[in-house]
Amino acid sequence: MNFNLIYRQMALVIYGNQFLNDHLQDDLNKMPHFQILHPILRDFHCGQLLAGSLQLILYHLKHKGAYKLSLIHAPRLASTIQESPIFYLSDHFYNYMILIQYRHDHPQILIGCEEKELWYLHHQNNDADFYFNNVNALTDRIATYTLFDLNESFIENLGELKAIDWKHFSQSYFDCVYINEVAFTLGSANQIEHLANIQFKDHQNYNTHFDLFPKDFTSNYAASLLTHAENLYKNYLLESETRNDQAWCNQATRHELQLFDQAVQALNNFYPSLIVNAANHYSNANIQA
């Protein structure tokens, strides 16, 4: 799972909505958490550069009448997207897309993409390969998106667009993902007594680079659950490494391995709804003491 990509998409949705609705007056391009984001928006068919920074992209969307951004988990949408001659639209991009709703036009989606090498073949010189490698190195650090038209009927039943009860959602997370023997053994049970007290050392790093969460980190259900889920995910991945003799899976019984598979599946099933709801409904995810 590409956490950097996911958090960048979430930041684009959270701050993008504030920008589209005139609730964010700062220059986004000068904000530290977007200096490494700086997405590029390219035309799906021609590859031409539409915008080279976050603020220009949002101005472009706002000028077209966009009023709301939403993160959606829509792998089933992949079959409706045509192949692009200049972009790779890989599986991990299909999983999460940004839905753009307009006041007077059909919705569109921002799809993460990677440019194909053929796009650079018009540079007929000895430095063509060097140029392509340099561009690849650049776009590895920059989120590159393309706009794709979407049938409005598709969004009618998207559950992630509807507001949720965060207290109930949080309890569901613990019931489905956390209350099992494997999560207590391999997770961070000893660190958790209440959601409001969740603290992880990775938070400072993420907050420095992305500043994804504009409110107090420990007073928000979305932020707390996201950090806990990532920690649990990484622990599961570490302890399932068969090449590591000390990994938990190499010392577990058959029954314990079955429980482990069930725990991993439970987390994988819950993760998409956590990610999209955190992005779309973060502002109303406060923990009431």
For residue 272, what are its two tokens? 């998409």
Confidence (pLDDT) at 44: 72
Confidence (pLDDT) at 66: 95
Confidence (pLDDT) at 270: 93
* pLDDT tens-place string over residues 22-78: 766 555 555 545 544 566 777 777 767 776 677 778 888 999 999 999 998 877 676
pLDDT-flagged residues of the chain (< 70): 23-39, 47, 51-52, 76, 78-80, 82, 90-94, 117-143, 157, 159, 187-219, 287-289
* pLDDT tens-place string over residues 80-91: 676 777 777 755
For residue 2, what are its two tokens? 């590409």
**How are beta strands 40-42 and 144-149 bridged, if at all?**
parallel
At 108, give phi and psi (nearest 5°).
Answer: -130, 170
Of 28, 113, 32, 126, which Cα lies nearest the Cα of 78?
Answer: 113
Task: With beta carbons less than 8 A apart as the criterion, state whether 245 and 239 touch.
Answer: no
- What span, in angstroms and rounded, lies between the C-alpha atoms of 157 and 217? 31
- What span, in angstroms and rounded, lies between the C-alpha atoms of 270 and 224? 15
For residue 82, what are its two tokens? 């045509």
Count of other CB atoms within 10 angstroms of residue 172: 15
Confidence (pLDDT) at 187: 67
Confidence (pLDDT) at 179: 79
Task: With beta carbons less than 8 A apart as the criterion, state whether 68 and 102 touch.
Answer: no
At 124, give phi and psi (nearest 5°).
Answer: -85, 80
Residue the block writes with tokens 């194909």: 116
Confidence (pLDDT) at 140: 52
